[in-house]
A and B are shown apart, each in its own frame.
Chain A
Amino acid sequence: MGHRGLGEFELLVLLAAARLGPGEAHAVSIAREIEERTGRSARRSAVYITLQRLEQKGLVSSRLGDSRPERGGKARRLVAVEPDGTRAMHDARSAYVSMWDGLDPVSWRP
């Protein structure tokens, strides 16, 4: 359906969620992971919306964790990558790789 093509930020969020794993991935940790690894800023609002969209596409699922006092008694929503999400990451990677394949990594020419 429509979710064949992943946006770049969507891919980053998906990858971050996969790296962190089901028990640790949530909006704040995902944003931090992206910032630390890519060096670019990831606004939390963007992460929320992207997660919302990915969940709607069935690529990730989420559940509420335990509530914590430092969060005003509120729980975190923990994110897990679904099989469809894994497939989408695969597809994206093979698309990138096949496009990169044969390009000179310095001059970016074949």
Chain B
Amino acid sequence: MSTSAPAWARRVLRWVVPGERVEDVLGDLEEAHALRHARLGRRSAWVRTSLEAADVAFAFLRYRIRDAAPRAPGRLSWPEIAGAFRALRTQPVLAFAATLALATGIGIATTGYGFVDSLLWGRVPWPGGDRFVLVTAYSEPDGESTRLDADTYRGMVRETGFFEHVGLLDGTHLNLEHASGEIEPLPVERVSPSLFQAIPARPVLGRLLLPPDAAAGAPPVVLLRESLWERRFEADPAVVGRTVRLSGAAYTVVGVMPDAYPGPSAPEAWVPFPEPGPATLVEGRAFAVLRTGVDREAVRARVEAMEGGAPRSGEVRVRVERLHEALVNGPFRLVLLAMLGVLVLLLLVVAANVANLFYARATARSAELAVRTALGASRARLVTQLGVEVTLIAALAAAAGLAASQATMGRVQEFNSALPWLDFSLDASKIGFLVGATLLAVAVAGVWPALRATRRDPAMALRRGSRGAAHGLGRAGAAMIVVQMAVSVALIGVATVFARGFTAYALPQVALPRGEIMSGWVNGAGHPPAQAFVDALAGVPGVAVASATTFLPRQDPERVRVEPEEATGSREDRPAPTTRAHETAARVGVLPGYFDVLGAAPLAGRVIAPADMEEGAAPVTVVNDAFVRDVLGGGEAVGRRIVVDGVSREIVGVVPDLGIGLVDPTRAAGLYVPLTSDVYQLVVRAGDPLRLTGQVRSAVAAVDPSLSLGTLLPLERIAEDNVKFMRGVSVLFAAVGAVAMLLSLVTLYALTSYAVTRRTREIGIRVALGEGYLSVARTVVGGTALQLAAGAALGSALGWLALRGESFFTFGLPPAGPWTFPGVALGLALAAAAASWKPVRRALAIQPMEALRQE
């Protein structure tokens, strides 16, 4: 073993030596190495064989580059590559800056693509993952999700011709009650035991969930995640068989699951999903593993045909979606694609910056290029030569960008607990994107300036070159500053609007006392009215206010049809109803006191009062200001009547937007009606609400011991993931805008600086002739300032156009506002002025004699 040649050498040679010669070369290497080993000892033999292998590898590499490629005019050749290397070595700062910039651009775009690719089209990392689907139901006219009928679910279980495995799952929270009295809300997945057949796993300890665990009346059991077991149970091997208390009930621990389990979600614990009873609706989502070759469309039709056991209104349709589709639907998909678009735009800005640098350099070399043209070099040859330098840089940048991107993705994979099945590893599609992005960068940053720079009349260039090219970058340079500024302004402006949109979404306009609000679900059918429980809760010491609601902020409420009532007898000055024939809006049922719990006061009129709850009271509603704006078209709302789901209601008050919608800010319009639903949440507001869970439970039990109160959770834990995601997106946009701006400023600095250097002689002469400093400064900066202004105007127009109308950029973003783009442009212009300050000062300090001697 020790007598064989170094492994790295074998690997490299196998890669670089043409196939038919590999065996010969490797054999020679082994033979020579064995001889050396016998003669010189292990270490020397290793060194010498390594040197020899490197020599052979390098020879074949050169051979492959130089000899294997057919030599066509204008094609790459070895001397050109060597020449490009030399040229770059003479300007290490330029080479470094350009590499860094392109690496940033390519790295960011590739990382972005990596995420989008994994989220939209990735592979699911378990056997048969592509056949793992979620089956969900929705109602036909409005597309709202609804729940699957239990009989349909049982039909699916029987349909073994279509499905390998079928089960139910549902994410929830349960409160883990520690012996110390501490309450810890845990994300828990309720799953049918068949999940562990669909996605096989071996427990770290104990056993998995088994079908009898889900049977009616089975004793409650729980499967812990490894990290929870380590964190909370000190990795106690005797945990199996122990009893833990979750949300007031005793569960027996049956096993511990490895952290690496890649199921559809990453909860801290799993509990069995009880088999649903007949003629009910299933509270979770159904998952299934399709048999190989089974068509999803056929499955959908089959499941839809089964639907209809439970009575309900409207037609029910069924979706059969792979995990990616179920997760990344509608708006999310658009956000992701828009994000990718912005990142590619950023790459373009970066490439344009590098193009500026290289163009400046190519014009500086115009005399040399002219000489070469005069000596018979074709334009294609010159372009190739200039382009090769950028290609080298881009290749380096691509390698660095890829490394950085892989490192980022690796970190994310490590911390990605929400979607453990996402696979961020490198694959053909990501490499394809990287290559595409690099080629784009080469085209913009290399070929384009090269084409421009070689488009000169040689005689002219020679004359000008000898005189020291008095006119800076000329018209092309000016055009580039305009374009650059335009792209930066558009990009930063759009990013600002996006960030503002998401920030506005992530933080409702009213700051809610999130940490002080706690709620728990109740199914109150057949129990005393909700108000009885609320009154009991209000009496608990420490509880400031109590109420009940169907949906808290950031939960996705049901949507109902809203029509304006014909404006009979309305006042003259009231605006005519501007609503379309009908709209949908979120509807939330509340008890009096709900807005006190949220800490919100009405903007106009009043909120739901105890009198509204009485039998036979006139139907009223309270709307939010988004409703007034989007549905009513503004104006005075209090006193108007609307028809909500067929019931005419008087608007008695307007409240601020309390974050009623989930994702889509266009669906922020909502209305509150007196609570009539049997299913609701009890909400309390208290200083440290989780400390009160015990008292809250006993207060509820005192009213009706048979009522089961769900897990009590603080508001901040509700819809936490969604808010986190949106916040992440807005931070990302701000970061992209900042990177674009930084790169633009660096290039502007470089360009101004370069222009001053090129015009040193001219400035010197003018100072010698007695021209004032101000006039000189105007000469240097004036043109650039004009170009910046033109670019800013163009960029504002571009950005405004991008955000206008019904493009996918604008799904429900807040309007850009008149000052967004001018503001961005002004900021950039100020920064640009600051960036050009130093070169201008240098220009003003030019001594005439020195300037003239410089030639």
Contact = CB atoms under 8 A, between A and B. Distances in A.
Interface of A: 26-28, 43-46, 48-49, 52-53, 56, 64, 67-68, 70-72, 74-77
Nearest to B53: A45
Given A48-B60, A52-B18, A70 B28 contact: no
B31 A70 contact: yes
Interface stretch (B19-27, B97-105, B216-224, B629-637): B19-27
B55 A27 contact: no
Given A70-B34, A75-B23, A77-B23, A49 B63 contact: yes
A76 B59 contact: no
15 contacts: A28-B28, A48-B59, A49-B59, A52-B63, A53-B67, A67-B27, A70-B31, A70-B34, A71-B28, A71-B30, A72-B5, A72-B26, A72-B27, A72-B30, A76-B28
Contacts of A53: 63, 67
A45 B23 contact: no
Contacts of B126: none
Contact of B23 (A46, A49, A70, A74): A74
Given A44-B56, A74-B23, 13 more contacts: A27-B28, A43-B59, A48-B56, A48-B60, A53-B63, A68-B31, A70-B34, A72-B27, A74-B24, A74-B30, A75-B23, A76-B27, A77-B24
Interface string B2-33: 00110000000000011011011111101110
Nearest to B59: A45
Given A52-B63, A53-B67, A71-B31, A64 B24 contact: yes
A72 B4 contact: yes
A43 B63 contact: no
Interface of B: 4-5, 17-18, 20-21, 23-28, 30-32, 34, 52, 55-56, 58-60, 63, 67
Contacts of B23: 64, 74-75, 77
A49 B62 CA distance: 10
A72 B58 CA distance: 23
A44 B58 CA distance: 12
Contacts of A26: 24
Contacts of A46: 59
A76 B55 CA distance: 20
B67 A44 contact: no
Nearest to A77: B24
Contacts of A72: 4-5, 26-27, 30
Nearest to B63: A49
Which of B27, B34, B59, B63 gathers most chain A CB within 10 Å?
A: B27
Contacts of B21: 48, 52, 77
A44 B28 contact: yes
B31 A28 contact: yes
Given A49-B60, A52-B63, A75 B18 contact: no
Contact of A45 (B20, B24, B34, B55): B55
A3 to B, nearest CB: 13
A48 B27 contact: no
Given A28-B31, A48-B60, A53-B67, A75 B24 contact: yes
Nearest to A68: B27
A56 B28 CA distance: 21
A32 to B, nearest CB: 11
Contacts of B20: 77
Nearest 5 interchain pairs by C-beta? A74-B27, A77-B24, A45-B59, A71-B27, A72-B30
A44 B56 CA distance: 7
A26 B56 CA distance: 16
B47 to A, nearest CB: 17
A44 B27 CA distance: 13
A25 B52 CA distance: 21
A74 B26 contact: yes
B754 to A, nearest CB: 44
B584 to A, nearest CB: 73
Contacts of B52: 44-45
Contacts of A76: 24, 27-28
A52 B55 CA distance: 16
B25 to A, nearest CB: 6
Nearest to B22: A74
A31 to B, nearest CB: 9
A46 B60 CA distance: 9
A76 B31 CA distance: 11
Nearest to B30: A72
A104 to B, nearest CB: 39
Contacts of A68: 27, 31
A72 B28 CA distance: 9
A46 B56 CA distance: 8
Nearest to B62: A49
A45 B30 contact: no
B234 to A, nearest CB: 53
Nearest to B25: A48
B69 to A, nearest CB: 13
A35 to B, nearest CB: 14
A75 B22 CA distance: 10
Contacts of A43: 55, 59
